[in-house]
Amino acid sequence: MTTEVLTIGKALNLGLRKAMEDDAKVVLMGEDIGKLGGVFRITDGLQKDFGEARVVDTPLAEAGILGTAVGLAMRGYRPVCEIQFDGFVFPAYNQIVTQVAKMHARSRGMLSMPIVIRIPFGGGIGAVEHHSESPEAYFAHTAGLKVVAVSNPVDAYWGIQQAIAAPDPIVFLEPKRRYWEKAEVDLDATPDPLFASRVVRGGDDVTVLAYGPMVKTALQAAEAAAEEGRSLEVVDLRTVSPLDLDPVFASVRRTGRCVVVHEAPTSLGLGAEIAARITETCFHSLEAPVLRVGGYDTPYPPSKLEEDYLPDLDRVLDAVDRSLEF
């Protein structure tokens, strides 16, 4: 067993390296990912070791990056595209939803699009406009795309490799403010399936669902609740399309209560779909309505206000209190 203590950022770097070693058809593309190693240094050292033909510094042209990736995928390559910041993905939105997501169906299965679109997402780093978005609902709503949101170094290391090896296009969301979180990673382990949720803390009173950067917040809320004698079960969804809700249904049937947490705006967010699915499936087990904790329905604020915008421990605990009052 080979175990290392890795940050999420380093785990992604090692996962990309392993994927490139295993398959010569894996090609990385993005702005400043080569010599600089990316603004978050996720691709640090990869161009030096694999060359400029496999780690490509692209122009500042997200639509061009994704359009090129479509052509490469059609010729048998496995492009991994880095979108430098979440808010920069929208110039490429047309390519993603009209080409990447639909090419397999359009060709009646003759063409595959094994493309990974890496997006650092979410807030919490004190950045300027367009650098702190949570665009997952746009992509989860698009048939033909799969959307993964990792929360820890273990899932980062294994998940990026699984995504690259998959035959379908995957939007791979990375919680940028958690890039420096550390954990032990067994580099020889058998990983969990990519599209599977996981109970990360057992509990009996309320089920708390989260993904990406909010998993840590949910765990912190569970710790605080335990000091008051309340037992929260925390489920890391890990993937938002497809949703793996069987473990969620099993949890909710035990606790009778559920709170869904995400950074994205609450209205029409993933929490709404999850709440509806839980209500449809677990209606007779619920002791309270499924509650949502999310960002406000406003543009992402200036950095000095982001702590007031982002869901935090207190807002999660407030929702837990409201749930238990029913």
CATH label of the domain that carries residue 319:
3.40.50.920
Say what the pLDDT of residue 130 is: 93
Which of 151, 186, 221 finishes a domain?
Answer: 186
Claim to verify: residue 221 and residue 250 sit in the same structural domain: yes
Q: What is the pTM of this model?
A: 0.96
Beta strand pairing call for 146-149 and 182-186 = unpaired
Chain segment 195-209, per-residue pLDDT in tens: 999 999 999 999 999
Task: Go through 159-185 and write b for each residue having 16 or more CB atoms within 10 A of its CB, e for each that does not.
Answer: bbbbbbebebbbbbbbbbbbbebebeb
Which of these three, 162, 186, 210, is where a domain ends? 186
For residue 89, the domain's CATH number is 3.40.50.970
Q: How many domains is the chain built from?
A: 2
Report residue 294: phi and psi, to 5°: -150, -175
**139 & 226 share domain:** no
Domain stops at, among 153, 186, 219 = 186
Place of tokens 């938002």: 240
Residues 132 and 152 in one domain: yes
- Residues with Cβ within 8 Å of 208's Cβ and at least 6 positions away in sequence, in order, are 218, 221, 222, 232, 233, 234, 235, 258, 259, 261, 316, 320
Asked, for residue 168, whether it belongs to a domain, the answer is yes
Q: What pLDDT sits at residue 164?
A: 98
Residues with active-site annotation: 131
Give the pLDDT of residue 141. 95
Of 149, 154, 119, 151, residue with least CA distance to 6: 154
The predicted structure's pLDDT at residue 168: 96
23 and 113: one domain? yes
Instruction: Based on the fold, state whether residues 50 and 137 are members of the same structural domain.
Output: yes
Q: What is the pLDDT of residue 136?
A: 97
Which residue ranges of the chain lie beneath pLDDT 50?
A: none
The verdict on 178 and 231 lying in the same domain is no
Is 193 within the bounds of a domain? no
In a domain, 302, yes or no: yes
Examine the domain organization and report whether 138 and 204 are in the same domain. no
Q: Are residues 15 and 60 in the same domain?
A: yes
Which residue in this structure is represented by tokens 């003759």? 110
Which pLDDT does position 239 carry in this prediction? 97
Determine the structural domain holding residue 155 and report its residue range.
3-186
Note whether residue 20 is domain-resident.
Answer: yes
28, 162: one domain: yes
Is position 192 within any domain? no
Q: What pLDDT is recorded for position 1?
A: 73
User: Any bridge partners for residue 149, and if so which?
Assistant: 173
